[in-house]
């Protein structure tokens, strides 16, 4: 969820019923060196709590110091990433690579757990290679080192997001540890979530890609409300998300960041023959004001829905941020 789970996304998830939201992963090296973008990930508001901030790195001392910063910023959990399969992360010895380096992995969790008073959790994949069972050997050791919960996405790093998540591994991990296990991977509907919970014994499910541009998926999973959103609701939520993202990232960064969301939101309307050309039109517009104007022209009734949403949504004035460079507040 790197490049997706910004504060605006997390707030929206909470508004649609998510019990816990998680930041995109934050580089511990970036925090150590005072990188503005890394520090900007520690922006936390009361309406998104409870919140987990996920950190990644390969050095126990650096990870421990980053965890202290995360706790100071107001996070309710520190989540340690042992699952990222992306090469630029794994080549540094972080992410999923640590599944094959149990001594270092346990050293990191131990150092982080000793550094903070909030719970420490770990997100894992099954292992680096297809068929790996490394998560089953490492999981109990991470609990001994101080992890109070484990999240398993039972795909290999090599798989990335292809194939299917093997939740038989999730069930086996549940039987091997005495802490809550969260099931991640292919959680796309209420029926699927219920099946995973029933067959694995997991304490909860984690929703990722299914919620991209589709907060209604959360409502369906939690409340069983399968009613599709109207065009007006889709446009209103997208515009609200756009405005919140601009406040968070600044106009310049938000403009590029938001382009991938247009297709995700419009996908809720079906009819790709119509929505795909409309998405292409939106990404070519020069400003977000033009995008908003075009969206409202396509769904005039969205203005009334948007007004109601703005009345209900917090304005973000209670954001908590560490002592950061002033440019963070203007979008970096």
Range of the domain at 151: 7-223
Tens digits of per-residue pLDDT, 136-168? 999 999 999 999 999 999 999 999 999 999 999
Given a cut of 80, whether residue 86 has pLDDT beyond it is: yes
Indicate whether 25 and 171 sit together in one domain: yes
Q: What is the pLDDT of residue 3?
A: 79
CA 97 vs CA 5, 54, 55, 72, 84: distances in Å: 23, 16, 15, 28, 8
Residue 15 lies in a domain: yes
Question: Exposed, middle or buried by CB within 10 Å (0-12, 13-18, 19+), for 147?
Answer: buried
Interstrand relation of 120-127 and 149-156 (parallel, antiparallel or unpaired): parallel
Query: What are the tens digits of pLDDT across the range 105-120?
Result: 999 999 999 999 999 9
Instruction: Assess whether pLDDT exceeds 80 at residue 325.
Output: no
Q: 56 pairs with which residues across the strands?
A: 27
Q: Is the pLDDT of residue 272 over 70?
A: no
Is pLDDT at 34 greater than 60 in this prediction? yes
Reported as a pLDDT band with limits 50, 70 and 90, residue 70 is: very high
Confidence of residue 315 (pLDDT cuts 50, 70, 90): low
Cβ neighbours of residue 171 under 8 Å, at least 6 residues apart? 199, 200, 201
Contacts of residue 308, defined as CB under 8 A and 6 or more positions apart, other chains included, come to: none
Percent of the chain with pLDDT over 70: 93
CB–CB of 27/35 below 8 Å?
A: yes
Please state the domain count of the chain: 2
Q: Same structural domain for residues 190 and 245?
A: no
Same domain, 236 and 187: no
**Domain closes at, from 189, 205, 223:** 223
Q: Are residues 211 and 243 in the same domain?
A: no
Catalytic residue among 22, 28, 84, 135: 84
Among 68, 70, 144, smallest CA distance to 109 is for 144
Is 84 noted as a catalytic residue in this protein?
yes
Q: What distances in angstroms separate CA 99 from CA 36, 58, 200, 282, 300, one per listed residue?
A: 29, 12, 21, 42, 51
pLDDT higher than threshold 70 for residue 178: yes
Residue 164 and residue 250 in one domain = no
pLDDT of residue 16: 93
Same domain? 179 vs 216: yes
Last residue of a domain, one of 162, 197, 223: 223
User: Cα 93 to the chain's mean position, in Å?
Assistant: 22
Among residues 273, 114, 271, 246, the alpha carbon closest in space to that of 261 is found at 246
Which of 181, 206, 223 is a domain's end point? 223
Q: How far, in Å, are 24, 234, 256 from residue 267 at the CA level? A: 23, 10, 19
pLDDT of residue 331: 32
| End-to-end Cα, the chain, rounded Å | 20
pTM of the model: 0.88
The predicted-structure confidence for 12-33, as pLDDT tens digits, reads as follows 999 999 999 999 899 998 888 8
**CATH number of the domain where residue 99 is located:** 3.20.20.70
Least confident of 35-39, 147-151, 173-177, 228-232: 35-39
User: pLDDT (tens digit, 9 = 90+) per residue, 1-14?
Assistant: 777 889 999 999 99
* pLDDT for the residue 226: 84
Residue 242: inside a domain: yes
Does residue 1 lie in a domain region?
Answer: no
Compute the distance between CA of residue 71 and CA of residue 248 in angstroms, rounded to an integer: 20
Q: What is the 3-state secondary structure (H, E, C) of the chain?
A: CCCCCCHHHHHHHHHCCCCCEECCCEEHHHHHCCCHHHHHCCCECHHHCCEEEEEECCCHHHHHHHHHHHHHHCCCEEEEEECCCCHHHHCCCCHHHHHHCHHHHHHHHHHHHHHCCCCEEEEEEEECCCCCCHHHHHHHHHHHHCCCEEEEEEEECCCCCCCCCCHHHHHHHHHHCCCCEEEECCCCCHHHHHHHHHHHCCCEEECCHHHCCCCHHHHHHHHCCCCCCCHHHHHHHHHHHHHHHHHHHCHHHHHHHCHHHHHHHHHHHCCHHHHHHHHHHHHHCCCHHHHHHHHHHHCCCHHHHHHHHHHHCCCCCCCECCCCCHHHHHCC
Residue 308 lies in a domain: yes
Report the pLDDT value the prediction gives residue 274, as an integer from 0 to 100: 67
Q: What local confidence, expressed as pLDDT, does residue 314 receive? A: 63
Report if residue 206 sits inside a domain. Answer: yes
Residue holding tokens 């541009």? Answer: 213
Res. 322: pLDDT tops 50? no
**One domain, residues 38 and 168:** yes
Average pLDDT of the residues of the chain: 90
Which one has a higher pLDDT value, 303 or 321? 303
Q: Is residue 39 located within the same domain as residue 95?
A: yes
Asked if residue 93 and residue 48 are part of one domain, the reply reads yes
Q: Are residues 244 and 119 in the same domain?
A: no
The answer to the question of residue 157 being in a domain is yes
Residue 81, C-beta contacts closer than 8 angstroms, at least 6 positions apart? 25, 54, 55, 56, 94, 95, 123
pLDDT at residue number 318: 53
| Residues 217 and 235 both lie in one domain | no
Residue 152 resides in a domain: yes
Q: Is residue 2 part of a domain?
A: no
Query: What are the angstrom distances between the C-alpha of 266 and each of 109, 156, 235?
Result: 41, 31, 8
pLDDT at 96: 93
* Mean pLDDT on 191-208: 96
Please check whether residues 61 and 91 belong to one and the same domain: yes
């Amino acid at each position: 969820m790197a490049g997706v789970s910004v504060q605006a996304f997390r707030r929206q998830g909470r508004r649609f019923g998510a019990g816990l939201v998680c930041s995109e992963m934050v580089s511990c090296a970036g925090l150590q060196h005072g990188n503005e973008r890394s520090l900007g990930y520690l922006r936390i508001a009361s309406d998104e709590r409870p919140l987990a901030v996920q950190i990644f790195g390969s050095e126990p001392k650096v990870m421990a110091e980053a965890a202290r910063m995360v706790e100071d910023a107001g996070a309710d959990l520190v989540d340690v990433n042992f699952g990222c399969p992306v090469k630029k992360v794994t080549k540094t010895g972080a992410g999923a690579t640590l599944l094959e380096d149990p001594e270092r992995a346990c050293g990191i969790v131990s150092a982080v757990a000793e550094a903070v008073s909030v719970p420490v959790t770990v997100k894992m994949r099954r292992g680096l290679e297809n068929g790996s069972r490394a998560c089953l050997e490492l999981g109990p050791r991470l609990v001994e080192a101080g992890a109070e919960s484990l999240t398993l996405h039972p795909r290999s790093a090599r798989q990335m997001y292809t194939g299917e998540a093997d939740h038989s591994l999730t069930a086996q991990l549940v039987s091997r540890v005495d802490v809550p296990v969260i099931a991640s991977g292919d959680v796309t509907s209420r029926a699927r979530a219920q099946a995973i919970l029933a067959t694995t014994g997991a304490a909860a499910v984690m929703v990722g890609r299914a919620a991209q541009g589709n907060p209604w998926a959360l409502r369906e999973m939690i409340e069983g409300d399968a009613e599709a959103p109207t065009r007006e609701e889709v446009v209103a939520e997208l515009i609200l998300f756009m405005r919140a993202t601009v406040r968070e990232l600044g106009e310049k960064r938000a403009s590029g960041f938001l382009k991938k969301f247009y297709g995700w939101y419009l996908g809720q309307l079906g009819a790709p023959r119509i929505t795909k050309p409309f998405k292409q039109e939106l990404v070519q517009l020069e400003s977000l004001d033009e995008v908003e104007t075009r969206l409202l022209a396509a769904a005039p009734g969205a203005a009334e829905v948007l007004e109601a949403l703005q009345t209900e949504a917090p304005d973000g004035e209670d954001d908590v941020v560490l002592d950061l460079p002033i440019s963070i507040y203007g979008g970096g």
